[in-house]
Amino acid sequence: MLIRFENLTIRNATTDDAEQLASWWNDGKIMAHAGFPNGTGETVEEIASSLERNAEDSGQLLILERDEVPIGEMDYHKVGEDVAEIGIKICDFSLHDKGLGKLFLSMLIDFLFTKLQYKKIILDTNLKNQRAQHVYEQLGFRKVQVRENAWKNQLGELQSSVDYELFPGDFINYAKK
């Protein structure tokens, strides 16, 4: 997959990205919202091996670039007939609150709806992640449910999450050309 809008690019992650991904995934500050406040502990070799099996037919791990510099990651995978689940992380904290997440999400969602013909996109986020919830709702996502104390992070702390869904007719695209 290769999607471009202005100076932003979404591309397939490759084994060449393993070192960058390991840096991000082993940074507890970046991974805390996903339940890994101590990082994932994955090695460059483990990530590279996983990327070799990164099959595009059912989903894809993606790299987000701004001006050809990796700044985060995104993924999608098929979870049902015509349903994709997505996730995103802008890993460079200096680029938070600049509208990039909304643009990258718009780019991917438009691709999933128009090119891959998905009929619904779902995602979830930590209930504490108010910034992400605001962005998802701006894009047209509808809150489906809040799951209180539904899972534990790697420190054993209970976490709550919010489930969202989006249909093509509700999508507000911020990356229109």
Residue 175 in domain: no
Interval 106-119: pLDDT, tens: 999 999 999 999 99
Cβ contacts of 68-75, under 8 Å, gap ≥ 24: 68/9, 70/17, 70/20, 71/95, 71/100, 72/24, 72/104, 73/13, 73/21, 73/24, 74/10, 74/104, 74/105, 74/108
Residue 176 in domain: no
CATH classification at residue 73: 3.40.630.30
The angle formed by the CA atoms of residues 176, 165 and 103, to the nearest 5 degrees, is 25
User: Could you tell me the sign of the dihedral formed by the alpha carbons of 113, 13, 39, 102, in that order?
Assistant: negative
Residue 156 in domain: yes
Residue 126 in domain: yes
* Residue 166 near residue 142, CB atoms below 8 Å: yes
Confidence of residue 24 (pLDDT cuts 50, 70, 90): very high
E strands within the chain?
2-5, 8-12, 59-66, 69-80, 83-90, 120-126, 142-152, 158-166
Residue 65 in domain: yes
**N- to C-terminal Cα separation, the chain:** 18
Please count the structural domains in the chain.
Answer: 1
Residue with tokens 């997505």: 86
Residue 79 in domain: yes
Interval 37-54: pLDDT, tens: 999 999 999 999 988 876
Residue 6 in domain: yes
The C-alpha atoms of residue 40 and residue 136 are separated, in whole angstroms, by: 25
Domain of 144? 2-170
Residue 177 in domain: no
pLDDT value of position 33: 86
